[in-house]
Structure 1
């Protein structure tokens, strides 16, 4: 993990996945204080709210942490400015290929820029255009996902990207998996699901119980019904909300057919659906109608425990696995 820890400035190269409504000051600071690297999920936050969230996180930890920004946010440049004002050390751009102005603004702020790379070709392009590190996230992850598994992405990308640190994400729940990716050439890993139900998480008790009870096969990807509506799949625990999303797609497609909205407006309404459904589950505890976004590693969430216990378990297991192989 030496390269990853040197890049992040943390004791362990274990990044926290940015989970909307979950990855806020309490969980982020707890992860950084425990030796990992917390990441604030900006999501759809307005500028003023992100400003307050960063300040509140800094009040809870002196350790480094990052901020995850969505490339399609209409105030992206202003959000980068807020991060710069707070001297945030690392900014993660997610949700699509980042624009040159956004990448340049981050580099100018002095922050280290991390980007998600879904293919080897895009990974090379991102490095050429200024990314300081990459995250490769497989389809086993929770929330919005791509079509390729973590193990395949790792095999495709790790051998060809050696100029910058690469962090592997998606379906990681045990230390021996971390050891395997480190041996393949990763500089570290990113986990979200294992942290979502930790005691420092502000998620509703019902949300945490749903994670603790769930098995891997219950974390399913959403289905796109209409080829005209390019819906990025979302992995979440199957419930009534999953079925409601199918109906939402039918409703939006019907309104597009009737000329009541265009495709762009339809896609935006679908994205707003996910944001609202996730909040209902995480904050309000609506585990039936809300969206329980979770990765397939949810089956390894067996109890509500402190963040420090999760990180200690992961590190101990990874060290033991590496020691066995060395022997």
Structure 2
């Protein structure tokens, strides 16, 4: 029967569930919260914890060999019977073998990141029975990926941690959400509250991808010093790496400012001077700049060197106030969205969901 006048929170939760239903259906989850894939962090323990709590964990393959990825997938399956995905870098020299590993172990979703995946790779994923997810930093590319067969998109703003593009999520959402309806679109970048996620759901997003909150969770294997750096940080502390000379491009990476980031600027200046003096070739100078951060992420995450290592974090790091369990983080995200809907009803007098079907 149809019941009216229900508890405002029940009505609000029904509205939330309706809004992110497309994302939940696609992921096969209770909440349409997709975890960002973070190298050295998104491994079996964190991934399984997120999935077990009702979200969607994602293994960060990064530079893993096919054999190493297989080990991580099997270990994760031993910790959860719920859905999770694997993030593959499209530039990996053994991409096809990595896809085959995912398919062989019946991974349900493969996220193709770090470049534009080819139609052949997307077909390989889908023919193997997995769902293919891609990243769209612009509307034109999003439309192109859908035509190539991508089944869901992530639009990630520059507020995110790690490797980022130049456009904020606020702008990407306005550019893309009104125009792509054929596949679910997940928003990402700078998200740390359920009410913010709700705003994008109401604009047409199917769900959201979060990383920084989970990197500092109890289940994250990141070093305690790494997590404490997140708790101490403000949003303005998460900055992108700077480029001194356009002849030597630097891929923007957002992380916490520290001695390492300051030394990187000095290293670029010294290398540029050596190039101008004819001491090194342009190619060697570029390599020296690129190799500066080699191993720096592992030093920060695993070894806890948060002064010289690369402490990748999104601007949402300013909202990380404590190291908390994943289940608590997901619970709070839901409650914040529900609170926002209830507060709106109180302001406007319009219930979040006027009718609830009771079975």
Please, what TM-score do these two structures have when normalized by structure 1? 0.95
Q: Partner residue of 1:282? A: 301
1:324 equivalent in alignment to 2:324:
no
1:131 equivalent in alignment to 2:150:
yes
Q: Partner residue of 2:169? A: 150
Q: Which deviations, in whole Å up to 9, do the C-alpha atoms of 1:246-276 show, x marking residues without a partner?
A: 244346556766585664x766665554451
Q: Partner residue of 1:310? A: 329
Once residues 275 and 166 of structure 1 are traced to their aligned partners in structure 2, the CA distance between those partners, rounded to angstroms, is 33
Once residues 242 and 232 of structure 1 are traced to their aligned partners in structure 2, the CA distance between those partners, rounded to angstroms, is 14
Shift of 1:227: 1.0
Q: Summarize the Cα distance change of 1:252–1:76 in structure 2 as closer, same or farther, 3 Å threshold.
A: farther
Written as runs of structure 1 = structure 2, the 5 A alignment for 1:206-225 is 206-225=225-244
Q: Summarize the Cα distance change of 1:205–1:142 in structure 2 as closer, same or farther, 3 Å threshold.
A: same
Unpaired runs of 5+ in structure 1?
none
Count, aligned residues: 326
Shift of 1:25: 0.4
Shift of 1:180: 0.2
Q: Summarize the Cα distance change of 1:113–1:270 in structure 2 as closer, same or farther, 3 Å threshold.
A: farther
SS for the counterpart of 1:163 is coil
Q: Which deviations, in whole Å up to 9, do the C-alpha atoms of 1:62-107 show, x marking residues without a partner?
A: 0000000111111111111111111110011111111232222112
Shift of 1:319: 1.8
1:200 equivalent in alignment to 2:219:
yes
SS for the counterpart of 2:295 is helix
Once residues 124 and 309 of structure 2 are traced to their aligned partners in structure 1, the CA distance between those partners, rounded to angstroms, is 36
Shift of 1:323: 3.4
Q: Partner residue of 1:140? A: 159
| Contact persistence 2:119–2:149 (CA under 8 A) | no
- Structure scoring higher RCO (CA < 8 A, sep ≥ 6) equals 2
Q: Which deviations, in whole Å up to 9, do the C-alpha atoms of 1:275-297 show, x marking residues without a partner?
A: 51110000000010001100000
Once residues 88 and 66 of structure 2 are traced to their aligned partners in structure 1, the CA distance between those partners, rounded to angstroms, is 11
> Which of residues 78, 82, 90 is equivalent to 1:63?
82
> Which of residues 137, 141, 151 is equivalent to 1:118?
137
Q: Partner residue of 1:79? A: 98
Q: Partner residue of 1:229? A: 248
Which has the greater radius of gyration? Answer: 2
Once residues 62 and 93 of structure 2 are traced to their aligned partners in structure 1, the CA distance between those partners, rounded to angstroms, is 11
| Contact persistence 1:231–1:267 (CA under 8 A) | no
| Contact persistence 1:216–1:297 (CA under 8 A) | yes
Written as runs of structure 1 = structure 2, the 5 A alignment for 1:96-111 is 96-111=115-130
Shift of 1:244: 2.5
| Contact persistence 1:91–1:112 (CA under 8 A) | yes
Once residues 194 and 46 of structure 1 are traced to their aligned partners in structure 2, the CA distance between those partners, rounded to angstroms, is 28
Q: Partner residue of 2:114? A: 95
Once residues 312 and 27 of structure 2 are traced to their aligned partners in structure 1, the CA distance between those partners, rounded to angstroms, is 26
Q: Partner residue of 2:209? A: 190
Once residues 289 and 52 of structure 2 are traced to their aligned partners in structure 1, the CA distance between those partners, rounded to angstroms, is 36
Q: Partner residue of 1:178? A: 197
Once residues 88 and 329 of structure 2 are traced to their aligned partners in structure 1, the CA distance between those partners, rounded to angstroms, is 26
Once residues 67 and 301 of structure 2 are traced to their aligned partners in structure 1, the CA distance between those partners, rounded to angstroms, is 22
Further displaced range: 108-117 or 252-261: 252-261
Once residues 104 and 211 of structure 2 are traced to their aligned partners in structure 1, the CA distance between those partners, rounded to angstroms, is 27
Q: Partner residue of 1:241? A: 260
Once residues 268 and 106 of structure 1 are traced to their aligned partners in structure 2, the CA distance between those partners, rounded to angstroms, is 33
